[in-house]
Amino acid sequence: MGYKGLTSGKLRAMTGDRPAIVGLLLYLLVAVTPTVLFWMLLRALPAAVTSLLDRRRQRRMPCGPSLESVVGNLRRLRREVRGKPQATQVRRVALLAAYDDTLIDACKLVQVDAPLAAATAADRPFARLLTEAALEAAGIALDPPSRGAATT
């Protein structure tokens, strides 16, 4: 009698009221979760660090052309402006507009005031001279010495 009474009341309360499959699933959850989380951390952490470093690198990179390319374009356009006269009015106006835009870009890169930026159509030739002088004063040689010439 003692054994039957023990199995019917107290033993049943000790085994729990959950089915065995739920216990197995809880065990797997407890055993597998740390492994999966550690694996995800190892896979995601390098990607997150790389992404963060790429963003910092992109912030430091200046947008737009470099000073060297702008000065190269400026010298090329200056040779064309100072060279032989253009065949058409459209070509001459386009060349001067490109030269003026490049002058203004160079002034922005070296942080020099560009009088050409606010000049009216009538004042543009004089403002162009002032802007060229400001760039020369900032240390940009618009007419560098030729390669064969000796410097003193």
What is the pLDDT, as a whole number, of residue 22?
Answer: 87
Give residue 78's pLDDT: 93
132 vs 37: CA distance, rounded Å: 63
Do 126 and 92 touch, CB atoms closer than 8 A?
no
pLDDT profile of the chain (152 residues), mean per 10: 52 65 88 89 87 82 82 93 90 94 93 89 92 92 73 52
User: What pTM value is reported for the model?
Assistant: 0.57
pLDDT of residue 16: 67
Measure the CA–CA gap between 40 and 48, rounded to whole angstroms. 12
Instruction: Compute how many other C-beta atoms are within 10 angstroms of the C-beta atom of residue 114.
Output: 20
pLDDT value, residue 56 = 83
